[in-house]
Amino acid sequence: MIFYHIPIKNIWEGPRCFKNKKFTHLMADTKEELINFAVVDLGLKINWLQHENMPSLTHFDVTGIFLQKLLKNKKAIQLNGPEWTKKLKERKLAESE
């Protein structure tokens, strides 16, 4: 499953390309599924992958035109806040087993 949280406005310090823009974190059940979707369907660059060696946190930050593509794509599921938190807890628990 490919999933992301409801896009939020970035109010934190960070790369200028994200400052004051909506963004989301894109994740998937497997790293391979995540990379394939992000690169093939959205056009993200593989070197934008974050936390590659931490399976429960591996993700892409998505903003701008890539966020627009993601929101139109039916392959990815948008999760609300509680759903997102539950999914992250499940991933962390599975990683520790």
Model confidence band, residue 10 (pLDDT cutoffs 50, 70, 90): confident
Mean pLDDT of 56-68: 93
- pLDDT, tens digit (0-9, with 9 covering 90-100), for 22-60: 899 999 999 999 999 999 999 999 999 999 988 889 999
Could you please report the per-residue DSSP string of 33-88?
HHHHIIIIII---GGG-B-TT-TTT-BEEEEHHHHHHHHH-SSEEEE-HHHHHHHH
